């Protein structure tokens, strides 16, 4: 479903010349929660993360769990100008970071996590869905290596 939605977003972008973005989100230290509190706590956290993501993004944006503690958000209609679209994607990513960094109550356990977020933007059909997700993933790993709770934009994010 994620790749279908991304194909649709790219096609819509090609028609409208509106920029879009892929946000790749990875939870910092998720494995530590699973190891210390068990998989039930980890599953509860993933459900709470998904809920916060869908409550924070715009109604037309797409939220998907890719695997484990990795989520992808597809942002559409970010505007016609590449720089402004990248800034808007960063602003939305920052709102997501703030929402996801607030404490979680998981039964009797209170847990706090931070997300590392990578951003790759697109306009039109210049890039394939797999490449966009790889680029956002690369940016996320750069964010993760910069410290917990960081956001990075992929360097090749301004195509024509």
For residues 14 and 115, give the distance between their C-alpha atoms in angstroms, rounded to a whole number.
Answer: 30
Torsion sign (Cα): 68, 136, 97, 51: negative
For residues 152 and 23, give the distance between their C-alpha atoms in angstroms, rounded to a whole number.
Answer: 10
Q: What is the DSSP letter of 127?
A: S
Within 57-114, where are the H helices?
82-101
For residues 126 and 116, give the distance between their C-alpha atoms in angstroms, rounded to a whole number.
Answer: 26
Reported as half-sphere exposure (CB side, CA atoms, 13 A), residue 18 has a value of 15
Catalytic positions are 69
Cβ(157)–Cβ(127) under 8 Å?
no
């Amino acid at each position: 479903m994620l790749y279908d939605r991304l194909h649709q977003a790219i096609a819509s972008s090609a028609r409208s010349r509106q920029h879009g973005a892929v946000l790749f989100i990875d939870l910092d230290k998720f494995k530590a929660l699973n190891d210390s509190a068990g998989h039930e706590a980890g599953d509860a956290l993933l459900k709470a993360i998904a809920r916060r993501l869908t409550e924070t993004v715009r109604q037309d944006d797409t939220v998907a769990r890719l695997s484990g503690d990795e989520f992808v958000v597809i942002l559409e209609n970010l505007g016609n100008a590449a720089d402004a679209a990248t800034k808007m994607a960063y602003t939305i990513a920052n709102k997501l970071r703030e929402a996801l960094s607030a404490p979680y109550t998981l039964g009797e356990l209170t847990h706090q996590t931070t997300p590392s977020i990578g951003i790759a933007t697109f306009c039109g059909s210049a890039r394939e869905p797999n490449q966009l997700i790889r680029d956002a993933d690369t940016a996320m790993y750069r964010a993760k290596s910069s410290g917990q709770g960081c956001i990075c934009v992929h360097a090749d994010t301004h195509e024509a």
